Amino acid sequence: MKRRLCILSAFAVLVAVAFFTGAGDAQPGTVKQIVPGVWFREGDLDKLGHCNNIIIEMKDYLIVVDANFPSGARLAMEAAKKVSDKPVKYVFDTHHHGDHSYGNAVWTQAGATTLAYKGVAEEMKRYEPKRWQATEKERQDVADMHADSVEPPKQTFDKTPFILKDDTREVRFYFFGWAHTRGDGFVYLPKEKVLCSGDAAVNGPYNYTADGNIGNWPKVTAAALKLDVEHVLPGHGGPGGKELLDGQGRFMTELHSAVAAAVKQGKKLDDIVKKDGDKLVSTSIQLPDNAKNWVGEGLPDQVRDTYEEITQHKPHGDIPHP
């Protein structure tokens, strides 16, 4: 089934969603200082498929959150050079998706160490090189890497939080469970109360649920909410506060319970989503207003994934698709 084949179809949806809804206060390409020494670069998702990057200044070096696609890696690298003379020492992949990790080799060739929770490397083993090879056909920057697959993170950790610390700052890397992927990493700065959430919490209709665990997702955002947080810097969409974690969890809770109610009423998938050819174009599932920031053109796909998760009694990412 083509619709499952790769992340690319998800990008097409995301691009369409962002284009049609003008979600959030999108400012692609801008670099904003969030607190002294922490910068947020908003990726251009619409045109380039890029994720956001966060640059964190330590005493002698920089940490960059997310490798991005190769072309996004180069833009983030330029941004890092503009804000500081210090070298980028670590690049943290929040998860394995191409828009967060396919630029890994760009960073390591420039002397940085790529870092991730071990679940990210495991997801790469599960899904690659199939997705890389499909993406090469669609994206010149990936094709231009002339590689057979994504470069896995050079350093992984399995006990969390993993901590990087010096005289000026402490940075903690957490795994709170399976939400968007089995490897979702969060980056937390306790003193500055900054949390980078990857795609486990986004700001706008950018949720991609195919590799996810929709039923468990709210538990992950709830665990993150236990941290003392003021600034949430998501993988897609603009920066925000704690309400992003709260709202992301609520969206998944409402999605799950609305689809579960339909299943209970005996509804079939075709009763709740409408197709045009292979593409899902609409759904009868409605979500409350306080989840609307996360509702967009991807909703029919999210409803289908949730329906499959509920009726097959396993996390969506565990359901095999050809």
Q: Of the candidates 151, 184, 199, 254, which one interacts with Zn ion according to CB under 5 A?
A: 199
> Does 236 contact Zn ion by CB under 5 A?
no
Number of residues that bind Zn ion (CB under 5 A): 2
Least CB distance from residue 95 to Zn ion, whole Å? 6
| Nearest to Zn ion of 169, 236 (CB atom) | 236
Query: Distance (Å, rounded) from C-alpha 165 to C-alpha 163?
Result: 6
The answer to whether 208 and 7 have CB atoms below 8 angstroms apart is: yes
Instruction: Provide the 8-state DSSP code for 60.
Output: S
Q: Indicate the SS3 state at residue 18.
A: helix
User: Which runs of E-coded beta strand occur in 218-300?
Assistant: 231-234, 273-276, 279-283
| Helix residue spans in 116-242 (DSSP H) | 118-127, 130-136, 140-143, 217-225
Helix (H, G, I), strand (E, B) or coil at 209: coil
Q: Output 42 or 199, the one with its CB closest to Zn ion.
A: 199
Contact letters (x/-) for Zn ion, 69-108, by CB under 5 A? Answer: ----------------------------x-----------
216 class by beta-carbon count within 10 Å (0-12 exposed, 13-18 middle, 19+ buried): middle
Q: Which is nearer to Zn ion, 199 or 308 (CB)?
A: 199
What DSSP state is assigned to residue 318? G
184 near Zn ion (CB under 5 A) = no
Scanning 101-109, 132-140, 195-203, 314-322 for contacts with Zn ion by CB under 5 A, the matching segment is 195-203
Residue 242 binds Zn ion, judged by CB under 5 A = no
139 touches Zn ion by CB under 5 A: no
Binding mask 141-180 for Zn ion (x = CB under 5 A): ----------------------------------------
Nearest distance, CB of residue 97 and Zn ion, angstroms: 4
User: How far apart are CB 224 and Zn ion at their closest, in Å?
Assistant: 16
Q: How far is the CB of 265 from Zn ion (least distance, A)?
A: 32
In 3D space, the residue among 112, 37, 27, 29 whose CA is nearest the CA of residue 75 turns out to be 29
Amino acid identity, residue 240? Answer: G
62-65 and 279-283 strand pairing: unpaired
User: Using CB under 5 A as the criterion, which residues of the chain lie in contact with Zn ion when the complex forms?
Assistant: 97, 199
